Structures are given as C-alpha cells and as structure tokens.
Amino acid sequence: MKAKMILEKDFQVGEVDKRIFGSFIEHLGRAVYGGIYEPGHPTADEDGFRQDVLELVKELQVPIVRYPGGNFLSGYNWEDGIGPREERPRRLELAWRTIETNEVGVNEFMDWTKKANAEAMMAVNLGTRGIDAARTLVEYCNHPSGTYWSDLRRSHGYEEPHKIKVWCLGNEMDGPWQIGHKTAHEYGRIALETAKVMKWVDPTIELVACGSSNSGMRTFPEWEATVLEHTYDYVDYISLHTYYGNPDNDTPNFLASSLDMDQFIKTVIATADYVKAKKRSNKTINLSFDEWNVWFHSHAQDRELEPWQVAPPQLEDVYTHEDALVVGTLLISLLKHCHRVKIACQAQLVNVIAPIMTENMGPAWKQTIYYPYLHASQFGRGTVLQPLIQSPKYDSKRFSDVPYLEAIAVKNDEDHVTIFAVNRSLDKQLELETDLRGFSDFVLLEHIVLEHTDCKATNTKEHPNNVVPHHNGKTAIVGNIARSILPALSWNVIRLKRK
Ligand code: AHR
C-alpha cells in the first residue's frame, strides 16, 4: 500500500498550546494513594511522594494536571483536605464507593505539581456544593493574605498563594451518574453565578464550563449551546470528554476511533461559534478536552470490587499495543485541531486508566500508551502544519472511509519538523512518500517506531519492556522527497532537521 503527504511551510493549522499534553489525577483507586503518594515506599521523598513516579511524569513533560476529579469532585468537601492530617475526616466516597482518608488535599497536590514541573487545573464541586465553596477555595488558594481563607492557608504553612490559573466548573454535570446531576439550564445558571464570583475573587483565572460527558449523550450538543448561552461572558473554555474501547474485539473499527474524536471536536467548535454568533460576541470560546483515553479493559473486574475500601485497584486497564495506536491517533486528532483545543488531559496519569503503573511498595513501569504520549509531548510542540494526505481507505462497522494513514506534522522551530504517523493496517506496510516542499534542506534526524507482531501485547511488572519503541525506522530523503516504510500496525515519529 502507498500513501502520499505534502507538507508546505506556510500551510499551518496553528500554534500548539503545550497544555494539550496535560493529564489528570483523581481521588480514585490508586491514582493518589499508591500512585503519586506512598509514604513508606522505598523511593518516597520527605513529603511521601514516590520519586520513581515523579521521574516518569517528568519524562512525559506533563504541563498541566487536572485535580481532584472526576466523579469524585461532585461529593468532595475541599476543606476536608487541609490542616493537620490527623484531624482530617475519613469519608464515604459515593462516586466510586470507597473510603477517602483525605491524607492528600489541595496543598499536598500543589507541592506535588511543583516537583513534577506541572501546572494545576483545579476543579470546584457543583454537585453537592456551589458558589460559596468555590469562592472560598479560590480565596484560600489564590488570595495573597489578610483575609480569613488566605490567612488560614498561610497558617497551614503556605505563605505564598498557589496562583492556580485554570479552574473547572464541576464535572460531567450532564450525566445521571453524577452526584447533583443537572439539566443544561440548571447547570448553566449555577455555573454562571459561580464563575462570576470566582472571577471577582481572582480576575486572572480562566474557567472551563462542563460540556457533554461524551458525544453519545442524548443531550449533546444542545447541552453545550444552552450552557454557553448562560455562561458565555464568564467562561473561557467548554470541556469535552470521551473514552474508546474494543469490547467486541473489532480492531479495524477500534483503530478508527479518532474519526469520532475529530467529529466531536468539530461539532463543539460549531456549537460554540453558533452561540458566539447569536450573542454578537467578539470572544471565542476554546476547547478543553479534559478527559480522553482508552478505557474498557477493567470494567468487568471493577464490577466485582468490594465497596468501602481505601484506595482499591480500580480502573486498572492493562493496555495493549493496539490501544497505544489508538492513543497515537487521538493525539494526532488533538494536534489537528490545535487552533481551538487549547487544553487536553489524558485520563488519567497513574494506575487509573494510566500510562504509568505501580505496585504498592514495588516498582513503577510504562504501559504501552506511555510511548505515543511521550513522543507527542516531547516532539509535538510548535506549529502544526496542514498536510495534504492521500491514503487508501477502508470501511469498518461504524466508520466509512477510514484512511489507513493517520498523520500530522509539527514545525517545532525553524530547524526541526516532526511527522507523527499511524498505519492502521493489520497486515500491510504502508509506503509513505512525503513531499517536503518548503523544507528542501532538511535531513532525517531519526525515525522512531512502535510496532509489535501481537496487537494484544502488553507491558507488565514482569515484562515491562515487551512493547517499546525502536529507532530503526526506515526513512530515506532524496531531494524534496522523504520515503518512509510504516510497518503494519505501527506508530511512527519521523524527526527531520535542517542540514
Ligand atoms: O476518568 C474516570 C471517570 O470518567 C471520571 O471520574 C469521570 O469524570 C468520567 O466519567
């Protein structure tokens, strides 16, 4: 099979906001306890944070981490997580049917983000709580001093304000599973009033309104239109969430999941711009894709779990090679829409549907999906180019005209260009001819490939290096033309540099 791509210097989609390589930590399963935090672990630092995990997070260069949920958020009292640890309450956590010890709260999380070189994306509870708890949390975190809540923070040992810039107004409020689920009008009203007051406390913050929990929701996209009609002047982003899976073992169909993500993003852009037109506004609402990933492997196991445990193993998907390819195509989709998607969080970061896995008191290792995330975060910053692609196509159960080649290119700087490409074919290599017009004086730096003979191959504690990338990809450049071989079922990172 053959495919062609043309790259022109001046055909650009837009600048990548590095926050599209964000992640998410929820008080859920072993994400916090046993994930980022495990006092007593051999690598734990003086604050109880696992340094083996921190090293991996730093390697991923995660720029922003959403916290503390997720469904957890909608029953959370943030005040439970501040002050002396021994006085913090243990609570029934109703979203995930566990016990929350509150050993980690907002201050500890902020300590951790500093160590991880990441920014926090904080969320306020609009399920059981509302305006008051949101405004006091912003005051506690961001007001310098001289008021009840800011001085309380100082008394807890945090003299300087945390200066948290990005805040989410609740979580998945359109979903009946959410504590305090609301109609679009109910949510739109409370989100507006909360946003207004949060920005009165700190006018420098940016706010994310809840969009739909996924594009399959019956209320999508009317939800987005109604919510934005209420909140347009006070919010900066509308959120999108989506998870994909392969429960029927239909790999060609699963590998086409990014076509759904493309369509979801396009529809939300159109809906936000419809409200903009209706309001005769000059302001543009951007997109925060703050939950996305593959999630399905752990569903059955989670149904068997005994309730009311502390940090049980929940949502612990063990990812396959084909999952990594889907994650690669989803990252390409985010890059393709970088002109409007300014924040995105792979859900989640450690243990819970995550690129990083740990064993309590044991090692940490990289799941298959770690690698496309790593490469995109390392080499996907700069200006996204608008490629012209010709690829053979196939039809799957749900999608028609699925291109075998999914690809995008990023001009990292004047001297570097990176091509990300997935070959969706189960059994055929793809010969890719890239016309590098405008980049005629570029040579190959490296061609990284993630491939495996078994699309169900995984990385485990026992075999952590079963699915790992190699650097022996085949690309040759003659004149303006780069010829690459993309093996069947492969993720490719083709890095070019000026001669
Ligand atoms: O990331 C897991 C869960 O998925 C989150 O808690 C929720 O927001 C979504 O439904």
Q: What is the DSSP string of 2-58?
A: EEEEE--TT-EEEEPPGGGGEEE--SSTTSTBTTTB-TTSTTB-TTSBBHHHHHHHH
User: Rounded to an integer, what distance in angstroms lies between the CA atom of residue 426 and that of residue 454?
Assistant: 10
Residues marked as catalytic: 172, 291
2 Cβ contact partners less than 8 Å away, ≥ 6 residues apart = 392, 430, 431, 432, 433
Q: Is the CB of 214 under 6 A from ligand 1?
A: no
pLDDT of 222 reads 98
CB distance 171 to ligand 1 below 6 Å: yes
The CATH number, out of the four listed (3.40.190.10, 3.40.50.720, 3.90.1150.200, 3.20.20.80), of the domain defined by the range 17-379 = 3.20.20.80
- Nearest CA among 302, 377, 400 for reference residue 117: 377
Report the C-alpha gap between 394 and 244 in whole angstroms: 19
User: Once rounded to an integer, what is the mean pLDDT over residues 211-233?
Assistant: 98
pLDDT at 225: 98
What's the mean pLDDT in 224-236? 98
Question: How many Cβ atoms are within 10 Å of 87's Cβ, its own excluded?
Answer: 9
Measured from the Cα of 24, ligand 1's closest atom is: 1
Closest CA to 44 of 348, 361, 352: 361
| DSSP assigned state of 417 | E
* Each residue's pLDDT tens digit, 322-373: 999 999 999 999 999 999 999 999 999 999 999 999 999 999 999 999 999 9
Cα(77) to ligand 1 centroid in Å equals 18
What CA–CA distance (Å, rounded) separates 87 from 78? Answer: 14
Whether 407 is in the pocket of ligand 1, judged by its Cβ within 6 Å, is no
Question: Which pLDDT tens digit goes with each residue over 455-472?
Answer: 999 999 999 999 999 999
CATH topology assigned to domain 2-9+385-498: Immunoglobulin-like (2.60.40)
Residue 348, ligand 1, Cβ within 6 A:
yes
Mean pLDDT, residues 61-82: 98
Cβ-Cβ contacts under 8 Å for 392 (sequence gap 6 or more):
1, 2, 3, 403, 404
Residue 73 Cα: closest atom of ligand 1 = 6
Report whether residue 172 contacts ligand 1, using a CB cutoff of 6 Å: yes
**71 Cα: distance to centroid of ligand 1 (angstroms):** 6
Return the pLDDT at 456. 98
Q: Look up residue 239 and give its DSSP letter.
A: E
Whether 440 shows a pLDDT value over 90: the answer reads no
Residue 230's pLDDT is 98
- Residue intervals of the chain classified under CATH 2.60.40.1180 are 2-9+385-498
Strand-pair category, 237-244 with 206-209: parallel
Mean pLDDT of the chain: 98
Instruction: Provide the percentage of residues in the chain whose pLDDT is more than 70.
Output: 100
Q: What is the pLDDT of residue 130?
A: 96
Residue 438: predicted pLDDT: 82
To the nearest 5 percent, what fractions of the chain are helix, strand and coil?
Answer: 30, 30, 45
Provide mean pLDDT across the span 373-400.
Answer: 98
Chain length of the chain: 499
CA of 476 from ligand 1 middle (Å) equals 44
pLDDT digits (tens, 9 = 90+) for 274-320: 999 999 999 999 999 999 999 999 999 999 999 999 999 999 999 99
- Best residue among 72, 73, 243 to mutate for probing ligand 1's pocket (most ligand atoms within 8 Å of CB) is 243
Res. 178 pLDDT band, cuts 50 70 90: very high
**Of 24, 26, 315, best ligand 1 pocket probe by most atoms within 8 Å of the beta carbon:** 26
Distance 385 CA to ligand 1 centre (A): 32
How many CB atoms are closer than 10 A to CB 106?
Answer: 23
Read off the pLDDT of each residue in 440-444 and give the average, rounded to a whole number.
92
Cβ neighbours for 153, distance < 8 A, ≥ 6 positions apart: 82, 107, 140, 141, 161
Q: State the pTM of this model.
A: 0.98
Distance in Å, CA 122 to ligand 1 centroid: 15
What pLDDT does residue 154 have? 98
pLDDT at 340: 98
Mean pLDDT for the stretch of residues 228-253:
98
Q: Is residue 290 within 6 Å of ligand 1 at its C-beta? A: no
Give mean pLDDT, residues 171-192.
98
Residue 121 has pLDDT above 90, yes or no: yes
Distance of CA 353 to the CA centre of its chain: 11
CB of 71 closer than 6 angstroms to any ligand 1 atom: yes
Q: CATH 3.20.20.80 in the chain: give the residue spans.
A: 17-379
Q: What number of other Cβ atoms are within 10 A of residue 44's Cβ?
A: 16
- pLDDT at site 179: 98
